Amino acid sequence: MPPKKAPIYCLVNGDPENSVFGIKYDKNTTVDELKEIIYTKKKNAFADIDYPDLTLYKVNINLNTDNPQRTALTTPNATIVGDFGGQVLRPMDNIEEKFPTPANGHIHVIVDVPAVPATIGVTERYWTKILEFTGLDYQSTTREIEFPTLDLNLEYERIGAFGWTDAIERSQNDRYTPHLKNILKLDTFRTLGLYDPTGDDSFLSTNTDILPIRLTGTTDLVIVDRHSIASQAQEKHIRFLFELKKVVKRIHTFQAMAELISADLKSKYPVLAVLTDLMDDWRFFWIQGKIIMRLTLSREESVALIRRNLVSANNEMRELANQGSSEMDMESSFFEEEPLPRRQKLRHVVATSNVSSDIAPMEDFFDTMSEEEIFRYKAKQILTQFFSQPIFNELNDQKKIPLQSDDEKNILD
């Protein structure tokens, strides 16, 4: 009679080590089947996801001795790859081949569970209503139209493409974050920082003082003023946001535009949104007048354009920091760059939009009201009219538009 196989021991990422659990397997068990077994065994921990959404990492964390990997189990924000030495297991991998002799008293598998925002679906029709409500529209443009004389050459610098694995996008943030920092040379801009808001599902959530229904969710990465990270006010200082996809689909453009609207309403700056696979598909979105502009560039052109905007933003912050000083130690090139493409704040656009004649009598008092009071009054009146439309009779203040759903059925009819 052959000896029994030792089980492999698993731990859900973020759980304490005393929550380790064992899984028995046979010589034919695949990683995909192991996911299903784990999903069944820990079903109460995996609400609102399917077992294929789990990502399994091969690790070798010794629980018999004190060591850095074991210590990292108690460290907030520890990364599976960086701190635990995790390697992604592909669905078709054979468990016995990956773990020929599982060590006793070790954790062999870390189970990563994707974050799932509590959101509802939205149709493209609802998205159209948001555009109608704000008076916005969207259209495509080209580099030749927007900045025909702008030089986006990188002088033979090679910009490498990111290499995605089979794991879901978010689980690869410990790889794509340093990749983006590297190609943008972000460390050379001392006043700016890259922030990962994926742990905060309400990072880009809005209330209904501007829009007919609430937007809720987050994005993958944002570039903000560095000081805002320490003060935990990042959403007020967003300059760029990045929505990252392995493959960019039509549905993702609506997601990116919704994120742009939310980020622009929260931030003090006009935001530039980037939807990209970090390979050859780079799409830019910004607000210009009453239009959400859309522009597609090559990888090299995209990096050059973002760097130019980083120079401009860094220049602005350093100039503010040095106001009143007789010495300005900024590089001369910092004064030569201006943000491109030129963009506007959504609140400025909505605040100057035409409104119904129903509110005209109040204009008699506008001379005595602040700009903010005038804007809020107009917005309130438009909201009242908007919610009277039949299409929104079923909606209430709790209805939300997800910014992070990859499920096409949740977005489109």
159-212 tens-digit pLDDT: 999 999 888 888 898 999 999 999 999 999 999 999 998 878 778 877 655 565
Is residue 350 situated within a structural domain? yes
The confidence score (pLDDT) of residue 200 equals 81
The reply to whether 137 and 91 lie within a common domain is: no
Residues 377 and 255 in one domain: yes
Q: What confidence score (pLDDT) does residue 261 get?
A: 86
pTM (two decimals):
0.57
- Per-residue pLDDT, 326: 43
- Whether 76 and 208 share a structural domain: no
User: Within a domain: residue 119?
Assistant: no
Q: Is residue 2 part of a domain?
A: no
Residues 94 and 172 in one domain: no
Taking the CA atoms of 15, 68, 66 and 110 in sequence, report the sign of the dihedral they define.
Answer: positive
Per-residue confidence (pLDDT) for residue 373, from 0 to 100: 54
Asked whether the beta carbons of 208 and 236 are under 8 A apart, the reply is no
Do residue 129 and residue 273 come from a single domain?
Answer: yes
What phi and psi, each to the nearest 5 degrees, are found at residue 205? -70, 145
Last residue of a domain, one of 77, 112, 147: 112
Evaluate whether residue 131 is within a structural domain. Answer: yes
Residue 410, SS3?
Answer: helix
What confidence score (pLDDT) does residue 272 get? 95
In a domain, residue 258? The reply is yes
pLDDT given for residue 188 in this prediction = 93
Torsion of CA 149, 152, 153, 158, to 10 degrees: -170
In a domain, 198, yes or no: yes
Are 91 and 220 members of one domain?
no
How many structural domains does the chain have? 2
What's the CATH code of the domain at 82? 3.10.20.90
Give CA–CA dist 170/411, Å, rounded.
Answer: 20
Structure tokens at 291: 């239009």
Residues 303 and 261 in one domain: yes
Residues 312 and 358 in one domain: yes
Residues of the chain with pLDDT under 70: 1-4, 47-48, 115-127, 129, 207-215, 323-413
Q: Are 81 and 171 found together in one domain? A: no
Note the pLDDT of residue 346: 63
C-alpha atoms less than 13 angstroms from C-alpha of 258 in its C-beta half-sphere: 32
Is 146 among the domain residues? yes
Tens-place pLDDT, residues 73-129: 998 778 899 899 999 999 999 999 999 999 999 999 999 887 654 333 345 666 676
Whether residues 128 and 220 fall in one domain: yes
Domain boundary among 47, 82, 112: 112
**Does residue 1 belong to any structural domain of this protein?**
no
Query: 65: domain range?
Result: 8-112
Same domain flag for 233 and 92: no
Same domain? For 44 and 155 the reply is: no
**Listed residues 112, 135, 157: the one ending a domain:** 112
